[in-house]
Amino acid sequence: MMKMNAGIWIGIIGGIIGLLTAIVVVLLTGGKTGIYISLAMLLFFAGIFYLFYRLIFKPMLHAARLQKTGFTGKAKILELRDTGVTINNNPQVKLVLEVKNSFGQKYNAQCRVLVSRLHPRAYQPGMEVPVKIDPKNEKNVVIDFSGSAASSQQLSSALNTDTLKAELEKLQEENNAIAASGRPARAIVKKYTWLGAYVNGNNPYVELELEVLPENSPSFSGKARGVMAEASLQKYQPGQEIFVKYDFYHNSRVVLDHS
């Protein structure tokens, strides 16, 4: 993976110091006009920095996060496009991918990646590459550069179809029991996490972290898992209010109230 090496950081810090020095000099020697010149310089270079952040630094930070937290998958390169951006003479390209998660389900996504000038044909249409998939949004993917034992362990321990079916059946039994005798309450969605699988089409298996708000009791935190209808996903995003039922004796046990 092409990382932000020491040379890039030195260049960024040096550029900021140079800009601040120039602004101070203009302010001290330019009089009233110097204020406007300094403001124009600040706005101009702030715009340049924001552009570099959006095109270069933000994708790097995003990729670094997903290397640690993403689900492992595979992808076939469908298309390769030049972005017109280069870093240390290494071009940045956009890859159009057909992603295959650990359950064999496929969908299209895009990502950006730097290509070493020493290996210009490292990514070509038709190639299969390892990827990391964002648990919060399966469309966010990055090339998996880890190649580590941890990555292999994550892949080998990923749920297969049989274990997923067994897990969902057990979860349904537990949820039915809580739904039948549990107490109703409102809840605020704090976090939405995709668990790496779809069921019966594009219905994601997810976990919701909730702040449960019983009517006559203190609020408490809980989690609920389940398969969400694709058409209803907007209702379960962070900040949304939903209805749940919880076990009065073990209030960490929470299920969604679909009644």
Answer whether 115's CB lies under 8 Å from 122's CB. Answer: yes
What average pLDDT does the chain have?
Answer: 78
Angle at alpha carbon of residue 154, lines to 151 and 236, rounded to 5°? 115
Please indicate, yes or no, whether the overall pTM of this predicted structure exceeds 0.95. Answer: no
CB-facing half-sphere around the CA of 253: CA atoms within 13 A: 16
pLDDT of residue 97: 94
pLDDT of residue 4: 47
pLDDT of residue 231: 82
pLDDT band at 242 (very low <50, low <70, confident <90, very high): very high
Asked if pLDDT for residue 158 goes beyond 60, the answer is no
Per residue in 40-98, pLDDT tens? Answer: 777 777 777 777 666 666 766 777 788 788 888 888 999 988 887 777 778 888 999 99
Rounded Cα distance between 193 and 209, Å, is: 8
- Sequence length of the chain is 259
Nearest to 132 by CA among 114, 147, 149, 115: 147
Per residue in 172-199, pLDDT tens? Answer: 998 898 989 899 999 999 988 877 677 8
Handedness of CA 119, 62, 14, 83 (dihedral sign): positive
Asked if pLDDT for residue 259 goes beyond 50, the answer is yes
